[in-house]
Chains A and B, each alone.
Chain A
């Protein structure tokens, strides 16, 4: 009797060892992307020659006013984010479309914040000449990093229950502090102008 050398052999052990690595990647990839985004923004703001100015939108007295209102819009939607998140998690009574509200208010807040950040980085850069400015620069870079992490984490399933609220809370806190150190300061210094 001969043995068929090409006979199907017993399969390799089921791909058990791969599992933990895939599990780690679920956290590692968002964390690395977040760090890369934050560092890249900071380096760009630090290295390139700030242009000092960029195009303005008609009807506003200055780009700072435009940015302040855009930032305030983003902050408003961030508050919607907080409330709708509490609804999704059942901490507050809410409608069935609370998760949809959360998704879309988040998208709007993010997309409204992007032009502000572009102007900041293009015209002003990463600056450190004052405590307020330093924190604003750091948090601005941090915000887009941690937001990227939040978006990527959303794609994973079966995360620890505390993770998304924690990262979401960081996003919200960062945006709030950014708003306090820029738009609120602007309104207090120059008045609530357009």
Chain B
């Protein structure tokens, strides 16, 4: 037990790591929203350096609605549902991974409930429970589905990419479920098909030979 050099090396690495971690925890707080996109600071964003998932002291009348994404499946397991909440506005995506999809939007009410509407009379009614999950029903394309969507950790959530590839309007939506499984549809000029897999870390996806970037969808 003689040479102290290797120990100093390990110690230096440990200190550097802890230093970087504290730097991340303090300076990273404003960018801590789970989207890379810049957004104005919200009332819901807590100034605490550590990211707490529990909202601070919810009052009985007005439920705190943290900015977050939720992803899950319908009760019959046929489709996936994801909801992203920002500033008490919500966007939802319903997708069966083959042909049926719907984008829905709306506001989150004070009691944590939401009624989101989409094209062709599609409706999603949901309630945010304990800031952990949204459950409710979705009426999409003539079907009636119950669903539960749990709060999604990165890279889980809702992604969207729109572009024009060789003259065709391409609109892709992806739900990355807890555990990493993806459900997505790419619509080319109104023709929906199963989507290729995106890289959830970067959003990179190749559609018809064209490299696109799917971004976290926000209301």
Contacts and interface: CB of A to CB of B under 8 A. Distances in A.
- Contact-residue size bin, chain B (C-beta under 8 Å from the other chain): 35 or more
Contacts of A49: 51, 53, 153-154
Contact of A50 (B7, B9, B17, B154): B154
Most buried by A among B7, B10, B27, B202: B10
Nearest to A63: B36
Contacts, number: 105
A118 interface: yes
A118 B35 contact: no
Contact of A54 (B1, B4, B12, B24): B24
A166 B7 CA distance: 20
Nearest to B15: A114
Most buried by B among A54, A148, A156, A157: A54
Contacts of A106: 9
Interface stretch (A3-11, A89-97, A123-131): A123-131
Interface string B179-191: 1110000000000
A110 B13 CA distance: 7
A103 B1 contact: no
Nearest to B28: A54
Contacts of B34: 51-53
B17 A155 contact: no
Contacts of A52: 32-36, 154-155
A6 B16 CA distance: 57
Interface string B62-93: 00000000000000000000000000000000
A190 B211 CA distance: 10
Contacts of B35: 52
A150 B24 CA distance: 29
Contacts of B51: 49, 51
A51 B154 contact: yes
A151 B3 CA distance: 10
A156 B24 contact: no
A152 B180 contact: no
Given A129-B179, A155-B2, A189 B154 contact: no
Given A107-B9, A118-B17, A155-B7, A124 B53 contact: no
18 contacts: A52-B32, A53-B34, A54-B28, A55-B24, A55-B27, A107-B9, A111-B16, A114-B17, A115-B16, A115-B20, A124-B154, A124-B155, A125-B154, A133-B201, A154-B3, A154-B6, A155-B3, A157-B2
Nearest 8 A-B pairs (CB), nearest first? A129-B180, A151-B6, A118-B20, A52-B154, A52-B34, A50-B154, A154-B6, A54-B24
